[in-house]
């Protein structure tokens, strides 16, 4: 018997002990042998027929209220009309301590091929951090000025989001078997779940509603919306919204946030939770835990549930404070172990989205032809996660080794690399000394020297930093530009220089020197594509500075966590040690 409490978010163990594992058959008569829920795969449950009927009735009522379809005669379809099959997707769900079957009618347009014109954007993790970072900056500024911090945080969710949007073109659905009538099809009027165009149609629908409320939409990051604030500080936003499909994160002035949520709630089915500065709260957003302290400080984490679940999956009983490199063992894993390893590493990679201390170790685990060494390293990562399950990414200012703070809003990029086989490039990006981006990746070329490896790492880090800079410049608009003085012209600066100051910190003297040169010099094999760094330095859009190896925070991206990195580097990135 498997653990029923892990299925579909069910909490009532006593109620569910009556639900036995069995065979689930969909509306088309096809057998579904297993269901995916949470972290693991379980046998399917036989759905209670009464609860199933009630769930389907609720869904049909919802479709009728939204006017999702109209019945048409199958003989009256225009030539070349697209007809899509449909089916029921169902699971158990607890609503107010009441066990129900959640039923959703979906189209099966996945059989019609791929259409890139229906692409719908999703928000980048870096933007999910940048928005709270800018908000924290504003709250700290208000506190320093002795002004009331009338700011709020809110998380909102749009129910049956896609059904609010209209479909484009003529599209027809064949009802599921239990709903079919002779010679009758449904002409789809709203963005039914399962249709290829539905995500894009919903995103365009929501975007128009937010822009109609006075928000500006970023072209660089289409899922980020904002209302401008004070003219003397272009990054002081009245309100900002991060959108990921139907999940919204609202930050800003309390009165504005409350009014905008009320206005949007009058147009869509909206559920929301919020808190003003002065009260502590936590919310679930995109699988993360967003917390607000009493004084308004924000932080983000993945929560501690993953650690205990993975430890149970691998039958791990003890934890570890470090991740040590395991000895070489080329013995291949069997098929079952390969499947389990890939699953565990997949979960760990998801957790590493807000746990940068795991990135280096995960990059060393091979999944193509995994061996005992890979299994051992994954086990040690889980042991380490079990020891530190709930570290958070804070958005308060970090004590980072910034030597020469630049003018305006400072964007500081720290980079580092490992050299040798499977060299890694690592980077960490700060905005106003607040963490917004980090990562590591294997270098695609073989560096012939540590200088070259460090230069490639710098290129990767500045690419990530420039993405943040582009969004900041878009948010700030023309107000963050200033005319250039004659002295600037004499130094070859461009006609307009952003007040966003970008600095690159490296611990390699030779790589820093290469950034300041023109051309490849003695490194004749250096790829031309990375010489753009020299152009940024020459045009004064990027300053290259030295950081000591012992305090180079990006060192954490290329080396396994140890006692030294935990003491000196992790506080620059994480809290809760």
Q: What is the pLDDT of residues 228-250, one digit of tens each?
A: 876 677 788 999 999 999 999 99
d(Cα 297, Cα 138) in Å, to the nearest integer? 11
Task: Say yes or no to pLDDT of 112 above 80.
Answer: no
pLDDT cut 90: percent of the chain above it? 62
Would you place residue 577 in the very low, low, confident or very high pLDDT band (cuts 50, 70, 90)?
confident
CA distances to 360, 448, 512, 517 from 506, rounded to whole Å, are: 18, 19, 7, 16
State which of 25-39, 70-84, 127-141 shows the largest mean pLDDT.
127-141
Would you place residue 576 in the very low, low, confident or very high pLDDT band (cuts 50, 70, 90)?
confident
The pLDDT of residue 195: 92
Token pair 């003297």 in the structure block, residue = 509
**Torsion, CA 26, CA 30, CA 31, CA 35, rounded to 10:** -50
Token pair 């609720």 in the structure block, residue = 58
d(Cα 242, Cα 421) in Å, to the nearest integer? 39
Q: Please enumerate in sequence order all residues whose Cβ is within 8 A of that of 134, keeping only pairs 6 or more positions apart, or say none.
A: 235, 237, 240, 431, 475
Task: Say yes or no to pLDDT of 148 above 60.
Answer: yes
Q: What is the pLDDT of residues 337-359, one digit of tens each?
A: 999 999 999 999 999 999 999 99
The pLDDT of residue 532: 84
Q: 440-451 as b/e, with b when 16 or more CB fall inside 10 Å?
A: beebeeebeebb
Tell me how far the alpha carbon of residue 308 is from its chain's centroid.
22
Q: What is the pLDDT of residues 455-507, one digit of tens each?
A: 889 999 999 999 999 999 999 876 555 444 444 445 554 544 567 889 999 99
Q: What is the pLDDT of residues 123-137, one digit of tens each?
A: 999 999 999 999 999
Strands 481-483, 496-498: pairing kind: antiparallel
The pLDDT of residue 224: 97
CA distances to 60, 249, 310, 338 from 53, rounded to whole Å, are: 11, 35, 36, 40
Contact by Cβ (8 Å): 355, 434: no
Task: Say yes or no to pLDDT of 542 above 60.
Answer: yes
Contact by Cβ (8 Å): 243, 206: yes
Mean pLDDT over 27-33 rounds to 40
Tell me how far the alpha carbon of residue 412 is from its chain's centroid.
21
Mean pLDDT over 55-60 rounds to 94
pLDDT cut 70: percent of the chain above it? 84
Task: Say yes or no to pLDDT of 283 above 80.
Answer: yes
Task: Say yes or no to pLDDT of 40 above 60.
Answer: no
Q: Among 537, 538, 518, which residue's Cα sits nearest to residue 528?
A: 518
The pLDDT of residue 263: 96
Of residues 203 and 110, the one with the higher pLDDT is 203
Write down the mean pLDDT value for the chain. Answer: 85
Task: Say yes or no to pLDDT of 316 above 70.
Answer: yes
Which of 176-180, 349-353, 396-400 bottoms out in mean pLDDT, i.e. has the lowest? Answer: 176-180
The pLDDT of residue 273: 94
Q: Please enumerate in sequence order all residues whose Cβ is within 8 A of that of 3, keeping only pairs 6 or more positions apart, or say none.
A: none
d(Cα 249, Cα 42) in Å, to the nearest integer? 32
Q: Among 129, 132, 126, which residue's Cα sits nearest to residue 298?
A: 132
Of residues 7 and 207, the one with the higher pLDDT is 207
Between helices 509-516 and 450-476, what is the axis angle to 10°? 60
Q: Element (H or E) spanning 361, and its range?
A: helix 359-363
User: Three-state SS for 271?
Assistant: strand
Strands 224-227, 216-217: pairing kind: antiparallel
Mean pLDDT over 209-223 rounds to 95
| CB atoms near residue 158 (< 10 Å) | 23
Would you place residue 527 in the very low, low, confident or very high pLDDT band (cuts 50, 70, 90)?
low
Would you place residue 258 in the very low, low, confident or very high pLDDT band (cuts 50, 70, 90)?
very high
Both tokens assigned to 108: 């099966």
Q: Any idea what the Cα angle at residue 124 is, between residues 121 and 127, rounded to 5°?
A: 120
Q: Among 548, 550, 536, 450, which residue's Cα sits nearest to residue 492?
A: 536
Task: Say yes or no to pLDDT of 256 above 60.
Answer: yes
DSSP state of 511: H
The pLDDT of residue 111: 66
Task: Say yes or no to pLDDT of 7 above 60.
Answer: no
Phi, psi dihedral angles at 399 (to 5 degrees): -85, 85
Of residues 508 and 496, the one with the higher pLDDT is 508
d(Cα 313, Cα 362) in Å, to the nearest integer? 18
Q: 115 burial class (0-12, 13-18, 19+ CB within 10 angstroms)?
A: exposed
Q: 63-82 as b/e, with b when 16 or more CB fall inside 10 Å?
A: beebebbeeeeeeeeeeeee
Of residues 174 and 521, the one with the higher pLDDT is 174
Q: Among 445, 475, 474, 473, which residue's Cα sits nearest to residue 459?
A: 445
The pLDDT of residue 28: 41
Q: What is the pLDDT of residues 425-465, one digit of tens each?
A: 999 999 999 999 999 998 887 778 888 889 889 999 999 99
DSSP string, 432-493: TTEEEEEEEEE-SS--SSHHHHHHHHHHHHHHHHHHHHHHHHHHHGGGGEEEPPHHHHHTT-
Mean pLDDT over 363-388 rounds to 94
The pLDDT of residue 43: 42
Q: Any idea what the Cα angle at residue 69 is, between residues 68 and 71, rounded to 5°?
A: 165
């Amino acid at each position: 018997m498997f653990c029923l409490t892990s299925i579909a978010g069910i909490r009532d163990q006593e109620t569910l002990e009556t639900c036995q594992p069995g065979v689930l058959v969909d509306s088309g008569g096809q057998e579904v042998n297993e269901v995916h829920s949470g972290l693991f795969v379980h046998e399917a449950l036989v759905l209670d027929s009464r609860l199933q009927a009630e769930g389907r009735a609720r869904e049909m009522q919802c479709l009728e209220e939204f006017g999702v379809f109209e019945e048409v005669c199958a003989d009256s379809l225009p030539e070349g009309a697209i007809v899509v099959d449909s089916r029921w997707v169902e699971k158990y769900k607890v609503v107010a301590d009441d066990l129900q079957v959640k039923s959703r009618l979906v189209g099966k347009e996945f059989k019609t091929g791929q259409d890139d014109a229906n692409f719908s954007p999703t928000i980048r993790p870096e933007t999910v951090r940048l928005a709270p970072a800018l908000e924290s900056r504003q709250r700290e500024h208000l506190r320093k000025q002795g002004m009331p911090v009338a700011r709020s945080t809110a998380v909102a969710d749009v129910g049956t989001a896609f059904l609010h949007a209209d479909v484009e073109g003529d599209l027809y659905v064949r009802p599921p078997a239990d709903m079919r009538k002779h010679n009758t099809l449904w002409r789809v009027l709203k963005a039914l779940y399962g249709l290829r165009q539905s995500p894009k149609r919903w995103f365009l629908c929501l975007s128009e509603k937010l822009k109609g409320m006075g928000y500006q939409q970023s072209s660089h990051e289409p899922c980020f919306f904002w209302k401008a604030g004070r003219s003397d500080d272009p990054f002081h936003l009245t309100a900002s919204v991060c959108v990921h499909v139907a999940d919204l994160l609202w930050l800003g002035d309390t009165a504005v946030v409350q009014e905008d949520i009320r206005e949007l709630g009058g147009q869509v089915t909206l559920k929301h939770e919020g808190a003003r500065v002065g009260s502590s709260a936590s919310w679930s957003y995109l699988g993360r835990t967003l917390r607000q302290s009493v004084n308004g400080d924000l932080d983000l984490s993945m929560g501690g549930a993953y650690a205990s679940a993975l430890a149970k999956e691998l039958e791990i009983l003890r934890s570890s404070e470090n991740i040590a490199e395991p000895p070489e063992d080329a013995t291949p894993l069997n098929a079952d172990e390969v499947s389990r390893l890939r699953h565990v590493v997949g979960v760990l990679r998801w957790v590493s989205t807000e746990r940068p201390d795991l990135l280096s170790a995960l990059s060393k685990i091979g999944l193509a032809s995994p061996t005992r060494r890979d299994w051992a390293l994954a086990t040690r990562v889980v042991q380490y996660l079990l020891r530190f399950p709930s570290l958070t990414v804070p958005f308060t200012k970090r004590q980072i080794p910034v030597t020469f703070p630049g003018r305006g809003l400072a964007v500081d990029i720290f980079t580092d690399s490992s050299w040798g086989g499977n060299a890694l490039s690592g980077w960490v990006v700060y905005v106003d000394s607040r963490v917004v981006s980090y990562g590591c990746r294997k270098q695609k070329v073989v560096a012939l020297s540590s200088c070259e490896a460090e230069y490639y790492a710098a290129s990767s880090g500045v690419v990530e930093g420039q993405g943040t800079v582009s969004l900041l410049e878009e948010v700030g608009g023309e107000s963050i530009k200033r005319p250039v003085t004659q002295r600037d012209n004499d130094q070859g600066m461009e006609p307009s220089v952003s007040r966003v100051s970008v600095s690159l910190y490296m611990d390699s003297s030779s790589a820093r020197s290469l950034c300041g040169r023109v051309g490849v010099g003695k490194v004749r094999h250096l790829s031309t594509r990375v010489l753009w760094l020299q152009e940024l330095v020459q045009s004064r859009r990027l300053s290259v500075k030295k950081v000591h190896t012992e305090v180079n925070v990006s060192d954490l991206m290329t080396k396994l966590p140890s006692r030294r990195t935990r003491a000196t580097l992790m506080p620059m990135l994480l809290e809760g040690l």
